[in-house]
């Protein structure tokens, strides 16, 4: 036996690339230039996660081993002849292993150690590095559905830059194309220049004092030029080519890596809006075939104005409303409902409008400060008569109370005898919020349809109700009991007889006094301007083409003889003292007004 033995050269051969969860074939080749006695050959596979972080004394390096697997390739004394000798084995790598990774502060590395034991001589100890690919995707490992991301959930506010982004898919594949759509808000107040995108691997490593430290590893960067003139919330579609080397996210021994797509927009002399969108990187072998991709290719969700349109159309279909020119229109009985987007003090809002037949109770809003130091106000309902207000509130309060217990805030902004206005704070970009608002308004509309026929007369009119009811039957007229308003329609004319209230300046909770009795004639056509007149009754009766004597005769049921006459392009109105006890006392004046309607329409001369 020679005093100095010749050691063989050692090589490691792999049949194919290695991947977690798969069986790998390993071949150890020993090339002997002379015969060599061998006692044993071992193959040891190791995997480590390594990280580096800065400190007061410079960079510190740490590592943690998560894999060690030893295989005995030769377990008996053997003398190898001159030439190559190959020892083969198969090892299945666990599917939970992370893929190889070389980042900014985090690395995942795999090594194969080959040890050749030579009797009575120095052993051979050789290390080889090799990459490990990710485990195949499982059917259970599915990403979340597509989403729309925005820099502000309330939409464009004030004059601040605003950005929306939607990806065609949350899944990315190496050397594939990323399809996306962006939209910009407040374009009149910001000089947007370009879109800037980056693919970032966010690494997390253990901190010396506990908790994770995060570091961004930039993988790719792109710039997307904007159209010359960008419209408000105009969708901007684009495609990007992804880099070749991408591996799935992983987590191992307190270290992790995840993927983010970062989007920002260049704004000179101002804050640049930006956002980070989480994405899922899949193994290259999980990419669908070209035929499947063409068939099932996902397009980005709509953003900006297109997304709003789709949201509002979807809500219209689910609630029974119509989507007309960006608004939702509905009808519940005689009550119409309209929802539209608007801006108030730079904030996007959804306004809901209910319009119903006149209630005749002087419905209005009272405004109070929320608290003594607040700049915000809240509105609540008021009316000219406390009893009538109680009837309205009793009907509507259950729905208003139910809405107040939800997570949405519906603010009452205006009220009148013919309608109610509400506000939903926010841009109306969430289908669930918009749908709930539409249902809330529809429920209120259903109740307002029942209100008109169930409202009592104002307390000052209670003594007149019976006589006015009998007069309505005698004159074949419609009577609104709440404010004793009589409507008579004959031929093309419509005459309304009623009493006005002095609603202004009345403290909350007190009864509004009566102001006047009035007669209002609509002749059915426009009244020529030469007939327009404003006479208060305090002066001598003016000369006129019409016979005015029968119209302005002093009433017999009151001590006040004053009668005023107003004529405009649509109405002939008479005003006199309040408190008409029975409309039948004014039969002659009523007939004179209908006769005047015929005169205005040219059906008879100025004199009967």
Nearest 5 degrees, angle CA 325-CA 328-CA 334? Answer: 120
546: left (phi over 0), alpha (psi -120 to 50) or beta: beta
Instruction: Assess whether 210 and 322 both reside in one domain.
Output: no
Q: Are residues 166 and 221 in the same domain?
A: yes
Q: Is 352 exposed, middle or buried (CB count within 10 Å of its CB: 0-12, 13-18, 19+)?
A: buried
SS (H, E, C) 278-306: EEEECCHHHCCCHHHHHHHCCCCCCCHHH
Here the CATH number for the domain that contains residue 97 is 2.60.40.640
User: Which structure tokens are listed for 164?
Assistant: 């929306």
pLDDT the model gives residue 58: 63
Residues 354 and 313 in one domain: yes
Spatial distance between the Cα atoms of 235 and 303, rounded to a whole number of angstroms: 6
Q: Give how far Cα 415 sits from Cα of 45, 362, 383, 546, Å.
A: 78, 9, 10, 40
Identify whether residues 14 and 55 lie together within a single domain. Answer: yes
For 47, counting Cβ atoms within 10 Å of its Cβ (0-12 exposed, 13-18 middle, 19+ buried), the class is buried
Tokens of 31: 């090339």
In this structure, of 25-34, 51-60, 136-145, 356-365, the range with the lowest mean pLDDT score is: 136-145
**Where among 275, 301, 327 does a domain terminate?**
301
**Rounded mean pLDDT, 130-147:** 73
- 501-551 pLDDT, tens digit per residue, is 988 877 888 898 999 999 999 999 999 999 999 999 888 888 888 888 889
> In the predicted model, is pLDDT for residue 477 greater than 90?
yes
* Position 178 confidence tier, pLDDT thresholds 50, 70, 90: confident
Give the pLDDT confidence score for residue 587 in this predicted structure: 95
Q: Max alpha carbon distance in the chain (Å)? A: 150
Residue 1's pLDDT is: 47
Question: How far is Cα 160 from Cα 151, in angstroms, rounded to an integer?
Answer: 10
532 and 435 within one domain: no
Within a domain: 195: yes
Q: Which helix (H) or strand (E) covers residue 339, if one does?
A: strand 335-344
| pLDDT at 453 > cutoff 90 | no
- Please give the average per-residue pLDDT across 255-283, as a whole number: 89
Are 437 and 424 in contact by the 8 Å Cβ rule? The answer is yes
Residue 316: inside a domain: yes
Same domain (yes/no): 588, 472: yes
CATH number at residue 562: 3.30.1460
Mean pLDDT, residues 325-333: 92
295 pLDDT tier (thresholds 50, 70, 90): very low
Residue bearing the bigger pLDDT, 509 or 303 = 509
Lowest mean per-residue pLDDT among 60-64, 117-121, 299-303:
299-303
Domain carrying residue 81: 9-133
Q: Tell me, yes or no, whether 344 lies in a domain.
A: yes
Residue 49 maps to a domain: yes
pLDDT at 376 over 60: no
Count CA atoms within 13 Å of residue 538 on its CB side.
Answer: 2
Whether 608 is in a domain gets the answer no
Q: What pLDDT is attached to residue 441?
A: 94
pLDDT for the residue 404:
66
86-105: average pLDDT: 94
SS3 of 189-214: the string is: CCCCCEEEEEEEEEEEEECCCCCEEE
Question: For the chain, what is the mean pLDDT?
Answer: 87
Judge if pTM exceeds 0.85: no
pLDDT at 2: 52
What confidence score (pLDDT) does residue 604 get? 77
Domain count, the chain: 4
Report the distance separating Cα 11 and Cα 209, nearest Å: 43
Map tokens 């105009």 to a residue.
Answer: 234
Which is more confident, 521 or 375?
521
pLDDT score recorded for residue 266 = 87
pLDDT greater than 80 at residue 301 = no
Whether residues 222 and 190 fall in one domain: yes
Domain co-membership, 445 together with 316: yes
Q: pLDDT, tens digit, for every residue of 562-593?
A: 999 999 999 999 999 999 999 999 999 999 99
Mean pLDDT, rounded, for 407-435: 86
Amino acid 196: pLDDT: 93
| Residue 138, in any domain of the structure | no
Q: Give a yes or no: residue 142 inside a domain.
A: no
* 186-202: average pLDDT: 90
Q: Does residue 57 carry a pLDDT above 70?
A: no
Only one residue has tokens 């960008």, namely 230
- Residue 348 pLDDT grade (very low, low, confident, very high; cuts 50, 70, 90): confident
What pLDDT is attached to residue 300? 62
Residues 129 and 172 in one domain: no
Q: pLDDT value at position 299?
A: 54
Query: Are 548 and 425 in a shared domain?
Result: no
Q: Is 197 left (phi over 0), alpha (psi -120 to 50) or beta?
A: beta
Structure tokens at 463: 């003594």
Is pLDDT above 70 for 259? yes
Assigned domain for 423 exists = yes
CA distances from 539 to 536, 560, 589 (A): 7, 15, 21
User: For residue 471, what are the CA distances in angstroms to 194, 279, 460, 519, 590?
Assistant: 75, 76, 19, 15, 12
pLDDT of residue 105: 93
Mean pLDDT of 486-499: 95
User: Which residue would you say has higher pLDDT here, 178 or 202?
Assistant: 202
pLDDT band at 488 (very low <50, low <70, confident <90, very high): very high
Residue range 184-204: mean pLDDT, rounded: 90
Same domain, 312 and 450: yes
pLDDT above 50 (res 104): yes
Q: The tokens 């159209």 sit on which residue?
A: 227
Q: Among the three residues 439, 454, 469, which one is the final residue of a domain in this structure?
A: 454
Confidence band, pLDDT 50/70/90 cuts, at residue 98: very high
Do 549 and 414 belong together in one domain?
Answer: no
Across 30-34, 220-224, 408-412, 517-521, least confident range:
408-412
Residue 494 has pLDDT above 80, yes or no: yes
pLDDT of residue 501: 93
């Amino acid at each position: 036996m020679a005093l100095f033995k010749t050691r063989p050269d050692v090589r490691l051969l792999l049949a194919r690339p290695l991947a977690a969860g798969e069986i790998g074939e390993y071949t150890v080749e020993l090339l002997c230039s002379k015969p060599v006695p061998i006692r044993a050959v071992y193959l040891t596979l190791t995997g480590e996660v390594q990280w580096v972080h800065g400190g007061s004394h410079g960079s510190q390096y740490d590592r943690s081993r998560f894999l060690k697997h030893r295989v005995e390739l030769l377990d008996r004394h053997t003398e190898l002849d001159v030439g190559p000798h190959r020892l083969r084995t198969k090892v299945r790598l666990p599917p939970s292993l992370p893929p190889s990774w070389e980042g900014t502060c985090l690395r995942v590395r795999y090594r194969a150690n080959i040890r050749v034991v030579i009797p009575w001589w120095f052993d051979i100890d050789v290390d080889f590095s090799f990459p490990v690919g990710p485990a195949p995707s499982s059917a259970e490992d599915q990403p979340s559905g597509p989403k729309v991301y925005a820099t502000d959930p309330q939409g464009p506010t004030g004059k601040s830059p605003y950005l929306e982004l939607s990806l065609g898919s949350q899944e990315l594949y190496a050397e594939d194309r990323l399809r996306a759509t962006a939209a910009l808000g407040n374009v009149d107040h910001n000089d947007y220049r370009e879109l800037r995108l980056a693919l970032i691997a966010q690494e997390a490593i253990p901190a010396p004092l506990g908790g994770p430290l995060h570091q961004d590893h930039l993988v790719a960067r792109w710039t997307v030029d904007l159209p010359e003139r960008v419209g408000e919330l105009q969708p901007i579609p684009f495609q990007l080519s992804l880099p070749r080397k991408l591996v799935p996210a992983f987590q191992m021994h307190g270290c992790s890596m995840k993927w983010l797509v970062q989007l920002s927009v260049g704004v000179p002399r101002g804050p640049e809006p930006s956002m980070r969108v989480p994405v899922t990187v899949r193994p290259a072998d999980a990419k669908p075939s070209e035929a499947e991709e063409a068939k099932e290719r996902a397009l980005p969700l709509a953003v900006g104005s297109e997304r709003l349109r789709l949201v509002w159309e979807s809500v219209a279909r689910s609630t029974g409303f119509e989507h007309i020119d960006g608004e939702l229109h509905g009808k519940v009985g005689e009550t119409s409902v309209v929802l539209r987007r608007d801006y108030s003090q730079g904030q996007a809002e959804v306004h809901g409008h209910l319009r119903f037949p006149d209630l005749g109770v002087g419905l209005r809003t009272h405004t109070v400060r929320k608290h003594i130091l607040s700049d915000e106000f809240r509105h609540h309902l008021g009316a000219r008569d406390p009893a009538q207000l109680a009837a309205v509130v009793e009907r509507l309060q259950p729905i208003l109370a139910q809405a107040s217990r939800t997570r949405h805030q519906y603010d009452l902004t205006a009220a009148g005898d013919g309608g109610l206005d509400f506000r939903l704070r926010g841009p109306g970009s969430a289908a669930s919020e918009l749908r709930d608002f539409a249902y809330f308004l529809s429920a209120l509309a259903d109740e307002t349809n029942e209100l008109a026929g169930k409202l009592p007369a104002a307390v000052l009119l209670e003594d007149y109700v019976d006589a006015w009811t009998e007069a309505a039957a005698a004159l074949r007229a419609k009577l609104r009991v709440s404010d004793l308003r009589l409507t008579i329609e004959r031929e093309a004319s419509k005459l309304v007889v009623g009493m006005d209230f002095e609603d202004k300046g009345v403290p909350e909770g007190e009864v509004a006094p009566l102001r006047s009795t009035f007669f209002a004639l609509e002749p059915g056509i426009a009244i020529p301007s030469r007939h327009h007149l404003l006479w208060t009754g305090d002066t001598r009766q003016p000369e006129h083409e019409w016979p005015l004597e029968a119209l302005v005769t002093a009433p017999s049921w009151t001590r006040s003889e004053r009668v005023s006459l107003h004529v405009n392009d649509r109405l002939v109105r008479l005003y006199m003292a309040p408190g008409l006890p029975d409309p039948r006392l004014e039969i002659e004046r009523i007939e004179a007004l209908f006769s005047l309607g015929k005169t205005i329409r040219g059906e008879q001369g100025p004199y009967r």
